[in-house]
Amino acid sequence: MNISNTQSLQKVLSAWNKKDLKTALVPTMGGLHAGHLSLIKIAKKYSDRVIVSIFVNPAQFALNEDFSTYPRVLDNDLILLKKEKVDLVFTPEVNDIYPDEIKKNINIGELDRILCSKTRPHFFTGVLQAVTRLFEIISPNYAIFGQKDYQQLKIIEKYSNNVKIISAPIIREKDNLAMSTRNLYLTHKERQIAPKLYQIIYKLSEGKIDKNQAIQLLEKYFRIDYLEILDADNLKKISYNSGRIIILVAVFLGKNRLIDNIILGDEKCLLLLKKLKLT
C-alpha cells in the first residue's frame, strides 16, 4: 500500500505494533534500481514488515544541484515495489518531514568536515534531518543503508538512537560501476569511461599500484574530488590498530559526480598496511 500522510501511516503502524511485528525501513529518493531492491531483500531478513520511503529531500541539494531535475518516477517505483511485495510505501510531503523549517546549522562533528563534506557542505545536515524525522514518524526497529554512501552510513549510525542500522554491500553493474540513480545522467561516452573508477581503486586495493599511481590514473579520465585510505570503522587516519581499511573515492566526470569505495579486512587489510609501511 502507498501512504502519503502521517495520520494514515500511524494507524497502520499502530496495528502492527499491537501484533508486536518488527519493522524495517528502507529510505530512498525514488528512481529505484537493483541496488535499492537489494536493500529490501536484506530488510525482509530482519523484520516482519518492510517500509520503503520515497522522498526527494530538498535539504540535501545545493542551489546549483539537480533537485528540480532529479528523476521522479513514482509510478514505476511503485510497480517495482509491488513486485518485491513491500508491505508499505511512504511518500511524505515536504511539510511532513519539515513541519517547522529546514535547519542549516546542525553540528554533526568531525564526520561532517571530511571527504564529501568539503565539496557538499550542505549535504549531510540535509540527509540527517530527513532520516531522523523518518525515524521519529515510523519508529522502525531497523533501517537499511547501502555502503556506497559510506560517510552517510557512518553519520547515520552515530545518530540512529534506538534504530538498528544495517549496512548493505554495494551493488554493481556488470562492468562494476556502482549502481546509482544519477548514472542515468551519464552520456554514452561517459558511461564507457565510468567503470574505470572501480578498476583503478581495485588495483590499489590489490596492492598492484600505490596511491600516487592511482591518482595519476584517475586524472586521465576524471577530475578528482578526493581519494583517501582511512580506517573503515571511524573514518580516521589508519594506524597499526586498524582492523579494516576503506579506500574512498569521489570524482567528477563531465557534470556528474561519482563515488565508490572498497572495504578491506583480514589479510588484504594487512597487505595494504604493509604497502603503506604501517606494519
Specify the DSSP element, H or E, that contains 220: helix 211-221
Strand partners, 246: 230, 263
State how far the Cα of 103 lies from the Cα of 25, in Å rounded to an integer: 24
By C-alpha distance, which of 222, 248, 254, 217 is closest to 115?
A: 248
Backbone angles phi, psi at 234, to 5 degrees: -135, 0
Maximum Cα–Cα distance for the chain, whole Å?
A: 59
Question: Residue 47 — left, alpha, or beta (φ > 0 → left; ψ -120 to 50 → alpha)?
Answer: beta
User: Contact 160/135 with Cβ under 8 angstroms?
Assistant: yes
State how far the Cα of 173 lies from the Cα of 75, in Å rounded to an integer: 24
Match 592511482 to its residue by C-alpha cell: 214
Specify the DSSP element, H or E, that contains 257: strand 256-265
User: Contact 235/115 with Cβ under 8 angstroms?
Assistant: yes
**CA distance from start to end of the chain:** 54
Question: Residue 180 — left, alpha, or beta (φ > 0 → left; ψ -120 to 50 → alpha)?
Answer: beta
The reply to whether 36 belongs to the active site is yes
Q: Among 33, 36, 122, 188, which one carries the catalytic annotation?
A: 36
Q: Which residues are the active-site residues? A: 36
